[in-house]
Amino acid sequence: MRRFLTTVLTLALLVVPLATTEAFASGNNGRPNGVGPVRTATYNLYLGADIFRVVEAAVVDPETVPVAVAQVVSIMMGTDFPERSVAIADQIARTRPHLIGLQEVSLWRYQTPGDFFDGNPVPAEYVLYDFLEIFMAALADRGLKYEVAGVVQNADIELPMFVGFDGTTPLFDDARLTDRDVILVQKGVQTSNLLAANYSDKVSLPIAGEVVEFLRGYVAVDAKVKGREYRFVNTHLEVAPTALIPPVQTLQALELATVLAPETKPIILVGDFNSSPEDNPADLPPYWIMTAAGYVDTWTRRVGRPGLGYTCCQDELLTNEESELDERIDLIFVRNDTDFPAWPDLGPVKARVLGARERDKTPSGLWPSDHAGVFAKLLIPVRWK
């Protein structure tokens, strides 16, 4: 009898992974083990210009910073977020995610005349573009019902902007950029336990006589989709180290992994990680930090046609005819710790890149963003009890 029971238990352990995999593969009416799929997306909206041209001006010739700021604002207006928001909203309409993580949800403000050189006693408050307000309106115009579940405010930078001359006297306005990461949820998705924070490690650079902090952050909520709770997290890490940018992205990724380590719910972590699977693991890039912490890169579990999944980056002006996407840095991770080793952490993934095709461009020929978005439909099994 003992030998018989041992044989049965051994066979059961061998069969469970196979049976579970078959259940996911067959779909089981889309609800393996009673759990329905969750649809999620990440999209970097693109602030509209390369902000680092201001950083380069500060290093090469600080007196040219107001001109560089004027160039950035001019390019931002030319890349026309109101028009681009419609193209991005079209992508959302086609995929209908329950949960969306947005990065570079910019708030552009200005003040005229500027008072930066007088110590900036009055912050610029006149709104030029509020990307969040514009994008929510674009969604609503398509009958899409989404709500803001969480916002983290990151860098808030105000600098002088050259606007012309009064005779021989130069004139300056102040331009202010506030960076935000945002979580949107489909109406009806219940959320709670909001957490919004900035990373302890950040880039600080001297610009126009001031030390400017380029804050990055993360925002997280508990989200209940079809009766199942997930911890949904959205982030935007610093760019990879350069001669101008110190190596802080590794420290930010380590901080995020540490903050999320005690979480017991399945975690869906999305964002612009500025790191790809092609990075050298020896350099401790964010991609490999997160996978070492138990996070599954959902694109690697994708079923269907093969795809490189490139998401970055189009030309600054967004007018390049051919797509220039050549790296995969916008990612959707899942961490689903199961106590039973034979239980899968994640079922097959249906995923696609958003806004990377010629037909996704705006009527005037702009790419929707300098990044492509990523959509994934996930089946995450119930934690073994």
Partnered with residue 130 across adjacent β-strands are: 107
CATH tag for 81-101+131-153+182-378 (out of 3.40.190.10, 3.60.10.10, 3.30.413.10, 2.60.120.10): 3.60.10.10
| Nearest of 253, 213, 203 to residue 233 by alpha carbon | 253
**Does pLDDT of 101 surpass 70?**
yes
Gap between the Cα atoms of 106 and 94, Å rounded:
24
The identity of residue 88, as a single letter, is I
pLDDT at residue number 180: 98
Domain definitions of the chain by residue range: 81-101+131-153+182-378
pLDDT at residue number 53: 93
Model pLDDT for residues 22-76, shown as the tens digit of each residue: 333 333 443 444 467 999 999 999 999 999 999 999 989 999 999 999 999 999 9
The identity of residue 319, as a single letter, is T
Q: Give start and end residues of each alpha helix (H) in the chain.
A: 2-26, 52-60, 65-78, 81-95, 131-141, 249-260, 286-292
**Does pLDDT of 352 surpass 90?**
yes
Model pLDDT for residues 320-350, shown as the tens digit of each residue: 999 999 999 999 999 997 665 556 788 889 9
Model pLDDT for residues 222-277, shown as the tens digit of each residue: 999 998 999 999 999 999 988 788 899 999 999 999 999 999 999 999 999 999 99
CA distances (Å), origin 33, targets 181, 343, 382? 34, 12, 7
